Amino acid sequence: MSAVTSKTTAEAEIRDLVNNRVEAVRAKNVKKLMSDHAPDILLFDVLIPLQYSGVEEARKRTEEWFSAYGGPIGYEVRDLNITAGADVAFCSFLYHVTGTMTNGTEVNMWVRTTLCCRKIDGRWLVTHEHNSVPFDAETGKAGLDLKP
């Protein structure tokens, strides 16, 4: 396989990984979402605390996220940028998350995501994930009404 073909294949595989996430969130399917997580994943998430270490902490966080919504979660990805080598890759995107939380809060915000991946035993896994919204220095508030 030429280097060009290999690179194209790797990019397609990372694109599949992102598509799998989109389907998993929309279906609120924890197992499907966790299927791309490396055992030692380091997660920097949108909400406090600073970090979650390992797949079990990430799973609890995911379960809390999905159960915080009584109905469906809207999850739309845009501006996906992929850089893939032979066994190390990363991608970034923005996602628009919408829905109604069980406490009545209407969620409608744009989030930045960076996924960092390693190819382990022939499969791409996310070893580091970073999700966030920026904050406004003047108010100290997270920017929940920003638009790309």
Nearer to a second copy, 23 or 135 (CB): 135
First-to-last CA distance in the chain? 38
Taking Cα atoms as reference points, which of 133, 135, 80, 137 lies closest to residue 110? 133
142 touches a second copy by CB under 8 A: yes
Match 């919204």 to its residue by tokens. 133
83 touches a second copy by CB under 8 A: yes
Stretch of 15-23, 24-32, 55-63, 124-132 contacting a second copy, by CB under 8 A: 124-132
Where is 111: in which H helix or E strand?
Answer: strand 106-120
Q: What is the largest CA-CA distance in the chain?
A: 54
The binding site for a second copy (CB under 8 A) comprises 42, 44-51, 81, 83-90, 92, 94, 110, 112, 114, 116, 118, 127-128, 130, 132-137, 140-144, 146-148
